[in-house]
Structure 1
Amino acid sequence: MSSFILKRSRSGSSLLSQNPKTKSSTLCSSQVDSSAKSNQNHTVSHSWSNSTVAKIMRRNLKDWILAPRLKNPCGSTEVLLFPRGCRWFSTQAAVEPSTSDGLTVDGIVASQWTILDESEGDWKSHAAAIAQSIKVIKKRLQWKNLNVRLNLLSAELNKPNLWDDPVHAGRISREHGSLMGKMKEVKAFEQELLEHIDMIKLAREENDTELELESLEALLTMRRKSKEKELDALLSGELDPCSCYIEVQAGAGGTESMDWASMVLQMYKSWAQQRGYRVTLMDEMPGEIAGIKRATIKVDGEYAFGYAKAEVGVHRLVRISPFDSGKRRHTSFAAVAVIPNSGDSSTHVQINESDLRIERFRSGGAGGQHANTTDSAVRIIHIPTGITATCQNERSQHQNKASAMGVLQSRVNQLEIARQAQMNAEHTQSLTDISWGNQIRTYVLHPYRMVKDLRTNYEVSDPDSVLEGDLDGFILSYLSASLDKDEDGRQ
């Protein structure tokens, strides 16, 4: 694939095509796109002015990458241009991107340019805001550790006997591809910022108002997009993209807590549906008078586990009891556990049929045409671990058994992961002690109205909206705080 050199000097500018085999350079025609894509060089006998080059660059900005500047012994500045997607970008990831005059993202952050409101239309303000976001993204992705891990995986992939173990090789290959993708995305965003800064400086040199306005608008778009990328960087864990199971269990407080557990379950159903996730009730044990003793729902959707893992813990409710004739204030507890459902057979623990005890019983609930008439409900016990999974919401015994096996498989997988690496023990530890002193969040409906997360001190004064599924503020606040805390602990 051809590369191009933009040569800028006092006498003007010219765009050269460099033949990678012969190392010879020729002037290219303005059909620079087709020249690069077909690897054909077209020669002309003139050089272009700065304004012509600027227009060519503007027209092809989305298709080209400006490489870091090169020192030229003749005193001119050379900037390599490569078509986007070419191998140079992936093989030269270690080179820190910079503008034609050597400005880097770290340099922008160090310069402490004032960050104004978006409406101010100041390019330095936009650039500073984007640079700060890139810094946050790298911090959340643990950039240095990511580079070290990527190097280790690359060395592993180069081993000649890697594919002797296909399962291990596949896992290494997938992780390497995932990390490389994250790095490339950040590098591309960083490079795009520096390109637009170069365009603005060049436009001001040439008094090209049109180019300057286009580049300023592009920076504003990047600034808005950078906030989305900051949120994406919160979900960088290996299991974050997975679907998940959310388990809710009533704690201390009797009927009060059972009713509260049903409210919590409905809160997560509403939250998941608002995000476009598919929710399936897997298991439910109703309370004697009201509410539920425990229940499990499956949440299917991209990054369901990444978001829901922030909800693991004990949730406390303070309200006037609807079950107390004296209208006294009661405190109730419910615990939430979140288990990832990776759907990756390579991570599954093999479950032998001989290790299972399957019990069939009649479905409970409000009744109906198909409920309470046959022994269709299924409970599966994994004898070696004592793990139990129940499903009774399907209309046939076979469907209930398949759903219960899915839950059981995920629970056994989770136990094995915790045993091997102790990475995910926090996902189920909330179910051990559901009482005072263990809560992560308090919901107060009387004597005042407030919901407060005790881990981050994030709070809102509208508990009704929270109970209707408006949880994103709490989730994002916790994920951000936990990542920042982890990063500070490593420094």
Structure 2
Amino acid sequence: MAEFDFATELAAARQTFQTISDALNPEKLKARVAELSQQAAAPDLWNDQDHAQEVTSQLSAAQAQLRRVTEMAQRLDDVETLDQLGHDLDDPDSVKQASDDLAQIRKDLAEMEINTLLDGEYDERQAVVTIRSGAGGVDATDFAQMLERMYLRWAERHGVKTKVLDTSYSEEGGIKSCTFQVNEPYAYGKLSVEGGTHRLVRISPFDNQGRRQTSFAAVEVIPLVAATDHIEIPDKDIRVDTFQASGPGGQGVNTTYSAVRITHLPTGIVVSMQDERSQIQNRAAAMQILESRLLVLKREEERKQRKELAGDIKASWGDQMRSYVLHPYQMVKDLRTGYETSNTAAVFDGDIDAFIDAGIRWRHQEKMKEEAQEQE
């Protein structure tokens, strides 16, 4: 193993930090914080709770970014001072502490660098995630529920609030589909790289002969609409159906028709909602998700993008983006980035940051390639 060269590592860390600082633009961040603070101080802010929550959420995110940049600059100065003092005083403990601190700084800089790559049009939005079971029968519905837990555990690990909006349970076990909202700035930018077909290979717990089974599930991630998006949906373009909300095994079954299903007739998009207590609340929530999906379609048409933001995900052979193999060996591998790990239990428990980071870097590289080809 190569010897740790403090001076070289520090120089590399400062160079990385400068690139991050240039991208984040601390002066611009300060102006943004000041603007949002002024909006947050308005006496009538909470007259519109949705707008108020958006303002306070954006303010919190901007303040956190500015704080990270400021603190990182100080940490780099402090670790350099500690190393110099250690050598001046011939104190090996201080020298070692400086090396350990610098190693942690390099890790934290890598995380900060990822955040600078979240510069897409929708990346700063909250996210709506839909998981659907695909080919594979009851194994697929069970896999879909495993993925739901994986993403909810990821959010829990990061202290991110989520809200399950709709779940369709399978009679045999697992779920046919679920939709949940991730209420955190830049949730879409991070989770959008998780969109696609996921494949599971394992010995089926539902096969009494213990045979290996391959099953699929589709993950769709869309940005939540903002008040400024102005997506008009004429009443004639939608069909609204109401039904009784239900839970697994008869749990939580309502006696009123509070659940709502909205079908957008021109596109065939269907959104179901049963989380709220009243039909009016469920209809409002369903309309917001429908607007989010129509926003994605609208922007795609305007830019004539070949690559869809949400995508037409088939959840079957030939189009998977990630494989989860539990037999005959243990491995989770992303087929786009090549990142893999044998710790499958940790992945299903929400430890997917490395996959998300690799996906963000891969997406950025693909974007750079496309821009270079357009300039040729």
TM superposition score normalised by structure 2: 0.73
Question: Per chain length, whose mean CA-contact separation is higher, i.e. which structure has more relative contact order (CA < 8 Å, sep 6+)?
Answer: 2
Residue 310 of structure 2 corresponds to residue 428 of structure 1:
yes
Q: Map Cα deviations across residues 121-149 of structure 1 (whole Å, 9 max, x no partner).
A: 43x541233225545887xx699xxxxxx
Equivalent residue runs for 1:55-66 within 5 Å: none
**1:26-425 → structure 2 map (5 Å cutoff):** 117=4, 121-122=6-7, 125-132=9-16, 134=18, 226-342=109-225, 344-366=226-248, 371-423=253-305, 425=307
2:342 to 452, 461, 469: 461
**Alignment partner of 2:361: what SS?**
helix
Q: Report deviation, 1:367.
A: 6.8
For residue 368 of structure 2, what is the aligned residue in structure 1? 487
Number of equivalenced pairs: 319
Residue type matched to 2:241 in 1? Answer: E
Determine if the alignment matches structure 1 residue 474 to structure 2 residue 358: no
Q: Distance in 2 between matches of 1:297 and 1:263?
A: 14
Once residues 363 and 425 of structure 1 are traced to their aligned partners in structure 2, the CA distance between those partners, rounded to angstroms, is 35
Give the C-alpha shift of residue 233 in structure 1: 1.3
Partner-residue secondary structure (3-state), 1:399? helix
Could you tell me which runs of 5 or more consecutive residues in structure 1 were left unpaired when the two chains were aligned. 1-114, 144-180, 204-208
Matched residues in 1 for 2:111 and 2:252: separation? Answer: 47
The answer to whether the Cα contact below 8 Å between 1:315 and 1:334 also exists between their aligned partners in 2 is yes
Please say if residues 452 and 459 of structure 1, whose CA atoms lie closer than 8 Å, have aligned partners that are also in contact: yes
SS across alignment from 2:293: helix
Query: Residue 231 of structure 1: CA displacement?
Result: 2.0
CA gap 1:226/1:448 in 2 versus in 1, 3 angstroms: closer
- Would the alpha carbon gap of residues 450 and 415 (structure 1) be closer, same or farther in structure 2, given more than 3 Å must change? same
Structure 2 gaps of 5+ residues are: 26-61
Secondary structure of the structure 2 residue equivalent to 1:256 = helix
Q: CA deviation at 1:253?
A: 1.1
Residue by residue, what CA displacement relative to the aligned partner does 1:385-432 show, whole Å, maximum 9, x if unpaired? 32221111222222211221221121121221122124595332242x
Alpha carbon RMSD of aligned pairs, Å? 3.8
Distance apart, 1:296 and its partner CA: 0.9
Question: Following TM superposition, by how much is the alpha carbon of 1:249 offset from its aligned partner in structure 2, in angstroms?
Answer: 0.9
Report the TM-score, using the length of structure 1 for normalisation: 0.57
Q: Which position in structure 2 is the counterpart of 1:158?
A: none
Equivalent pair of 2:20/2:112 in contact (CA under 8 Å): no
Does structure 1 retain, via aligned residues, the 8 Å contact 2:24–2:116?
no
Conservation of the 8 A alpha-carbon contact between 2:114 and 2:360: no
Instruction: Pick which of 308-317 and 284-293 moved more.
Output: 284-293
CA distance in structure 2 between the aligned counterparts of 1:256 and 1:320, rounded to whole angstroms = 10
Counterpart AA for 2:113: E
* Secondary structure of residue in 2 paired with 1:242: coil
CA contact (8 A) 1:130 1:223 kept: no
Q: Specify whether residues 125 and 414 from structure 1 end up closer, same or farther in structure 2 by C-alpha distance, changes over 3 A only.
A: closer
More helix, by proportion: 2
After superposition, what is the alpha-carbon deviation per residue over 1:301-350, rounded to whole angstroms, capped at 9, x for unaligned? 121111101101110000111111101000000011100014x2222311
The one-letter amino acid of 2:191's match is: A
Contact 1:319 1:446 in 2 (8 A): yes
> Could you list the per-position Cα deviations for residues 80-101 of structure 1 after superposition, in whole angstroms to 9, with x for gaps in the alignment?
xxxxxxxxxxxxxxxxxxxxxx
Q: Deviations over 1:149-171 (max 9, x none)?
A: xxxxxxxxxxxxxxxxxxxxxxx
C-alpha spacing 1:271/1:436, structure 2 compared with 1 (3 Å)? same
Between 227-236 and 461-470, the greater mean CA deviation after superposition: 227-236
- Counterpart AA for 1:130: R
